[in-house]
Structure 1
Amino acid sequence: MAATFELRDRRESTRERAPRFAPTTKRRAWRAASLAACVTLWQLVVYFRLSAGFITFANVPAPSDALPALWSLLHSPKLPMHLAASIWRVLAGFCVAAVVGVGLGLAIGRYRAVEDTVLPALEVLRPIPAVAWIPLAILMFPSSELSMMFITFIGALFPILLNTVHGVEGIDPRLVATARSLGTKPLALYTEVILPGAAPAIFTGLAIGMGTAWFCLVTAEMIAGQYGIGYFTWESYTLQNYPDIVVGMALIGALGMGSSVLVKRLGIALTPWYRLQETRR
């Protein structure tokens, strides 16, 4: 028996001495290497002017062309204005979409009458691409700024809404029944059972919605923008300044990825009761 306890103590001490962050560091290194490999492949296909008939890279700027353009933009006095305009439009549209999407999602997922009344119209609107909303947005809003925020709002709304609905529908009915049997009032039922149970799905929808809001940024700033990363990208195309197109796309991608990661981290911090076990290797 003593030998058994001694062996168990040795195993536990070995686990404690093992580097806890080694797998995370390894995965980050692997992802960085994957990204570097993609950039290297991009450089090679442009350098050799690869053409497969249906696609050609003869006129595509290479990463080596985009780096000087990025350096020039980083030293441009317009960069802070571009960033501020885009971030403000995305955050405004995203915040309104979060309030509307989560509120409607909680109601649709909980009450069948609300689902039958509201969801059919939303399902008809959901497949419409953001670019198709531009003429209507110009007609609906007197301000071009509001029109651009509306486009980002449309992009973020439906991922948030659908994930919230699925989160509410996935709650175990026994939890709701138990809360009701204990005399929980309707408001407390939402705040103490339904909202915590649907929170992981809600934050997943918020992270996806943040990414799609940035995805719709170029479409939004095509309307009448004078500043913004999307406007900078579109203007670079009209002026045939192709390296700046790559720079604008890369900035939108980096900002979208960074903001989505922040939303995911916030979700992890606010849902300590929910942890996914690591099943993938």
Structure 2
Amino acid sequence: MATLVTTVPRLRLRGTHAAVQWASLALCLLFWHLATTQHWNLGFITFENVPTPADTLAAIVDLAHSPKLLSDLLSSVRRIAAGYVVAAVSGVVLGVVIGRSTFARLSLLTPLEVLRPIPAVAWIPLAILMFPSSEMSMIFITFTGAFFPILLGTIHGVEGVEPRLVSSARSLGASRLVVLREVIVPGAAPSIVTGLAIGMGTSWFCLVTAEMISGQFGIGYYTWQSYTVQRYPEVVVGMLLIGLLGMGSSALVRVAGRRLTPWLTAGSRR
């Protein structure tokens, strides 16, 4: 009975949250419909040439029946997977090393901080020169977008671990490897998961930028090509696909993070 009493308010709260989310989405669609069908011109922004939701829906239907959609999606997802996996592994490992070692922090963090603010667009010419194929250059751009958020999130999480926990583990005879596995990584897990989720979103941003400039396939290339041939509804379709893919992949990272850190979920339910 107690479980039922606590479950009902949670279900009501979830229903309220879902209603608010769907209502906000409906309001956005209504604004889009009114602004484009009524050709609003607000002075600083105009919607006269923006495709309507109906035009965009027609473009979605056409694209769904085209084999080009699958090839572009697979190209972008493959690039994201390759760049993101390398960024995740190297960012977490390097972040743990920098967070735990003063020498590594002094020798590595300053050069990385110099490189971190460089935008993805600025890396594209150098990436084209460094890598023999445009495919590798786009994967590298995706890597740079994901690497730094993951690195900084891991460093922040490792440095935030309570020193008394580490001292207590060592006083009980735990080795450095055991302390790292049982204390440091679990304590830094929330920041690591946050960095992984942010890195996924920025990797999509960087990939689309690279595909627009040097790609021949992919969602970014599809969006830019649609603009150059003045198929504006397809531009909006490309933008929506990019947003949905980025949101969905970031959500998957967060779900995987919760599955890998069950002690955090259990603690938040108390």
Which amino acid in structure 2 is aligned with residue 217 of structure 1? L
In the alignment, what sits opposite 1:111?
A: 101
In the alignment, what sits opposite 1:92?
A: 82
Query: Between the two proteins, what is the percent identity of the paired residues?
Result: 60
SS at 2:262's partner residue?
coil
In the alignment, what sits opposite 1:53?
A: 43
Which amino acid in structure 1 is aligned with residue 180 of structure 2? Y
Alpha-carbon deviation of 1:226? 2.0
In the alignment, what sits opposite 1:203?
A: 193
Check if 1:174 corresponds to 2:164.
yes
Check if 1:157 corresponds to 2:147.
yes
Write the distance in 2 (CA, Å) between the matches of 1:43 and 1:129.
Answer: 34
In the alignment, what sits opposite 2:112?
A: 122
Q: Deviations over 1:96-134 (max 9, x none)?
A: 110111011111111122111111111111111111111
TM-score by length of 1: 0.91
In the alignment, what sits opposite 2:255?
A: 265
Farther-moved stretch of structure 1 (21-30 vs 61-70): 21-30
Residues 184/124 of structure 1: CA separation in 2 closer, same or farther (3 Å cut) = same
Q: Deviations over 1:170-216 (max 9, x none)?
A: 11000111111112111221111111111111111111111111112
User: Which of residues 144, 169, 174 in structure 2 aligns to 1:184?
Assistant: 174
Check if 1:22 corresponds to 2:12.
yes
Farther-moved stretch of structure 1 (35-44 vs 68-77): 35-44
Q: Aligned Cα RMSD in Å?
A: 1.8
Q: Compare the two structures and name the one with the higher helix fraction.
A: 2
Which amino acid in structure 1 is aligned with residue 149 of structure 2? P
Structure 1 moving runs of 4+ over 4 Å? none
In the alignment, what sits opposite 1:3?
A: none
- Corresponding residue pairs, total: 269
Residues 250/14 of structure 1: CA separation in 2 closer, same or farther (3 Å cut) = closer
TM-score by length of 2: 0.94
Write the distance in 2 (CA, Å) between the matches of 1:135 and 1:116.
Answer: 30
User: Which of residues 73, 83, 102 in structure 1 aligns to 2:73?
Assistant: 83
In the alignment, what sits opposite 1:243?
A: 233
Check if 1:33 corresponds to 2:33.
no
Write the distance in 1 (CA, Å) between the matches of 2:232 and 2:31.
Answer: 19
Q: Deviations over 1:38-76 (max 9, x none)?
A: 111111112222222222111111222111011110110
SS at 1:273's partner residue?
helix
SS at 1:52's partner residue?
coil
Query: Structure 2 stretches of 5 or more lacking a match?
Result: none
Write the distance in 2 (CA, Å) between the matches of 1:167 and 1:193.
Answer: 12
Q: Which has the larger radius of gyration?
A: 1
Query: Structure 1 stretches of 5 or more lacking a match?
Result: 1-9
